[in-house]
A and B are shown apart, each in its own frame.
Chain A
């Protein structure tokens, strides 16, 4: 099993993510440079947080055209596990691997804060170790995290159970007050129809060790590692 963490110019959570996978989860991990046109022997690819290409034009709009994104698309179409965190989520939306877009936060502020997210679905490679309605304390750090899509897409996401995380209060109640950025339906993370591509604004890699305030986020990486271990056993 091997994880890959993509490095774009301006990524700044790449090393955090690498650290958590290698030292906390204890799995092999490699960096993938954005100019590479293959994801090599990686079994799960993570697009990390940051400000790829300085967020010029729109967040994720330039990174989407990096050579590596062709490989990531191809990898995803073969069923490979792809996870976009924060800027990674924005890139996946721009690339069309996930529906919708991340708009400027409703209050126009860059928000750096611990929030609670509720796990809405556990039948995915990213959440299979979670309990449904489990509340995770995970930080957010973004200026453009306000999830938007048209009504038809939202209905589809709801019907197909593709909203994996929603902003909630500490008791798991989905309220307007718990929504930090104005996201539609308190959406913090979604997956594609095939359930092998995840995008989420909160940073699980910043909440994977107790000395950083929360280790709730590591369950997501453990879920992916479990999935890959099972896939390896089956093949």
Chain B
């Protein structure tokens, strides 16, 4: 089973990298881009012996403890079995 974890800066946290990318794409000539926020993406493979519920619980725990810093970041988990 695979999990996808998206880690994004909380809306209240400034994202200078996103701003720089936004500025760059505007300069290159892309139109209509209102905002860019940069985040992190993880692909994690889990033992097949785990049920989807167990896998989700374990991945969410890992995301909260390690992959994201809850002071500045939010995260979202997608399991393969979701799709």
Contacts from A to B (Cβ < 8 Å): 57-58, 61, 65, 93-94, 99-101, 103-108, 148-150, 182
User: Known pairs A61-B69, A93-B71. 13 more at Cβ < 8 A?
Assistant: A57-B67, A58-B69, A61-B66, A99-B71, A101-B71, A103-B13, A103-B14, A104-B16, A108-B16, A108-B17, A108-B20, A150-B12, A182-B16
Residues of A within 8 A of B72 (CB): 101, 103, 148
In the complex the two chains form, is A101's CB within 8 Å of B20's CB? no
**For residues 52 through 76 of chain B, which have their beta carbon under 8 Å from a beta carbon of chain A?**
66-67, 69, 71-72
Q: Which residue of B lies closest to A60 (CB)?
A: B69
Q: Whole-angstrom distance between the alpha carbons of A126 and B44 in the complex? A: 43
Q: Which residue of B lies closest to A94 (CB)?
A: B69
Cβ-neighbour of A57 out of B16, B17, B66 (below 8 A): B66
Chain B contact residue count (CB 8 A cutoff): 11
In the complex the two chains form, is B13's CB within 8 Å of A148's CB? yes
In the complex the two chains form, is B69's CB within 8 Å of A101's CB? yes
The 10 lowest CB-CB distance pairs between A and B, nearest first, are A101-B71, A101-B72, A108-B16, A106-B16, A101-B69, A104-B16, A108-B20, A58-B69, A148-B72, A104-B17
Q: How far is the CB of B62 from chain A (nearest CB, A)?
A: 12
Q: How far is the CB of A53 from chain B (nearest CB, A)?
A: 12
Residues of A within 8 A of B71 (CB): 93, 99-101, 148-150
Q: Whole-angstrom distance between the alpha carbons of A94 and B69 in the complex? A: 8
Q: Whole-angstrom distance between the alpha carbons of A100 and B70 in the complex? A: 10
Residues of B within 8 A of A150 (CB): 12, 71
Q: How far is the CB of A127 from chain B (nearest CB, A)?
A: 25
Q: How far is the CB of B44 from chain A (nearest CB, A)?
A: 13
Q: How far is the CB of B66 from chain A (nearest CB, A)?
A: 7
Cβ-neighbour of B16 out of A58, A61, A100, A107 (below 8 A): A107
Q: How far is the CB of A143 from chain B (nearest CB, A)?
A: 11
Q: Which residue of B lies closest to A105 (CB)?
A: B16
Q: Whole-angstrom distance between the alpha carbons of A65 and B72 in the complex? A: 19
Q: Whole-angstrom distance between the alpha carbons of A108 and B18 in the complex? A: 11
Q: How far is the CB of A155 from chain B (nearest CB, A)?
A: 15
Residues of B within 8 A of A148 (CB): 13, 71-72
Residues of A within 8 A of B69 (CB): 58, 61, 94, 101
Q: Whole-angstrom distance between the alpha carbons of A99 and B14 in the complex? A: 18
Q: Whole-angstrom distance between the alpha carbons of A149 and B72 in the complex? A: 8
